[in-house]
Amino acid sequence: MNVFMKIFPFLLISHTLSSAVVDSYPEKTHSETLSIAAVESRISKSPLSILDMTPCKRERRVPKISEILKNSPQDEKTIYLTFDDGPMTKGTENILNVLSKEGVKATMFCIGRNVVLHPSLFKKELLMPNVMVANHTYSHANGHYRKFYSNLWGVMSDVEHAQIIVGGRKYLRLAGRNVWRTPDIRRDDMALGRKRVEIERPKYDTLQKEGFFVYGWDIEWHFGNGGRRKGSAQELASRVESLYMHGRTVKKGKIILLAHDFMFRDRSSADELRRFIEIMKDKGWHFDTIEHYSIQMPDVLRVAKYYTKGRRHIANLQKERIRIGIGDILEAKGESVTPEAERSVGVVDKKAESEKGLPAMPHKAQRKELSDKLVEAILAYDSQKVDMLIRDGAPINVTDQKGRTPLNSAVKANSIFILKKLIAFGADLNLKDREGYTPLLLARKYKRVAIEKYLIEVMAVEKKKTRIAMRPKH
């Protein structure tokens, strides 16, 4: 008590001076200075308040994240619906019906093989103004992703094959890989592990070098056994909002959602998709196609380097697209392979060949020699040499001196990429080797499950074409 009475006069004098300084502040004073002065003036009124100093309330309040999102422009919240693995019956039809009724945009990443199997559905996708079609490889790696991405030529050949069938600009989503390659984004699928990524990275870089824009996804609508969707529309909407709120997307304000066509085969799943779209509309989200994700746009595939170097192949593909009714649509959009591009690849008539002095077809002895070399290249899994030999005139539908056929050799080598190449060049699926095996029987003998499945699908398509051709014309 005695000590306090001794220092009390000094405290009283100091606080009195500080009060006088505060009173002498001009009217326009910084807010932080006034806050300090207010604290000091409050202390000066009661000397005992030094024992109970509580901080004053801050005038500036940090807004909550929910308030920022509420006040942000709606064009910053864009969702890109993407559907993989189509076209297929029921699932694709239900998706297109929902998109048509809701009037929202979406992107359909189509498998080239499925386009050939379901041309009417693909044509319906092309004709819808709010739907964009894009490339999702030709074979979807046949489910063997590690083997598929270990072969550069196989990956490029497969992707270019699908691009010629699907048409349009070179927008691509790889099968089973969340990989990004655009002018402003470069991301690998790190879920594979560092060693696997190092093996597959050159393939991704080559795709980018050839002008493809490769897109992954920010969030996936998962599916379980039998392709049934997991989670409700409300749960998915909450996940999307959480990603947006915490900024865990590749691009700020933009979310790419991955779903699959087969998830919406039944009516309840289609209703759930419609419910999700309605929820996102209510939350102020804008729907768009993948072509507006980046400012830049890729070119159309005019000349393929890895797949379509056969003289007849592009012309046959053009005829096939016209037959199923999509060639005229793509040409109207300027997204098909033009006659000029065909000529640049090598689709020229015999007269032009003679004028340019191109090599003529090899003689019989030379063809036999080329046939032997072709089989040996197939068994050595040398796809580049196979392509070169076919361009040089190596026969596909004959046996070599040992009685082997090119298709059966591809089956033995377990090379589905070379097998597809040979079929595209017109290989006969019913040609037997010396032992009497067709490619399908040989695939069953050696238990080549993926090749067997592919051959059955191709043969089914051929039978369908034959039935259509045999129908009487009215």
Residue extents of the structural domains in the chain:
2-51, 75-292, 364-470
Instruction: Pick 95 or 469 by higher pLDDT.
Output: 95
Asked if domains 75-292 and 364-470 share a fold, the reply is no
For 112-126, what is the mean pLDDT? 91
pLDDT at 85: 95
For β-strands 131-135 and 78-86, DSSP reports them as unpaired
Architecture per CATH, 364-470: Alpha Horseshoe (1.25)
The yes-or-no verdict on residue 26 having pLDDT over 80 is: no
Does the structure show a pLDDT above 50 at 44?
A: no
Residue in this structure with the two tokens 């077809």, named with its chain if needed: 361
Burial class from Cβ neighbours inside 10 Å (0-12, 13-18, 19+) for residue 447 reads exposed
Residue 136 confidence (pLDDT) above 80: yes
Rounded percentage of the chain residues whose pLDDT exceeds 70: 69
Handedness of CA 252, 254, 255, 260 (dihedral sign): negative
CATH number of 75-292: 3.20.20.370
Check residues 332 and 248 and name the one with the higher pLDDT: 248
- Which single residue is written with the structure tokens 């398509």? 461
Reply yes or no on whether the pLDDT at 82 is more than 50: yes
* pLDDT value at residue 392: 73
pTM of the predicted structure, to 2 decimals: 0.58
Residue 149: pLDDT band with limits 50, 70, 90: very high
Q: Give the CA-trace dihedral at 111, 117, 120, 121, to 10 degrees.
A: -40
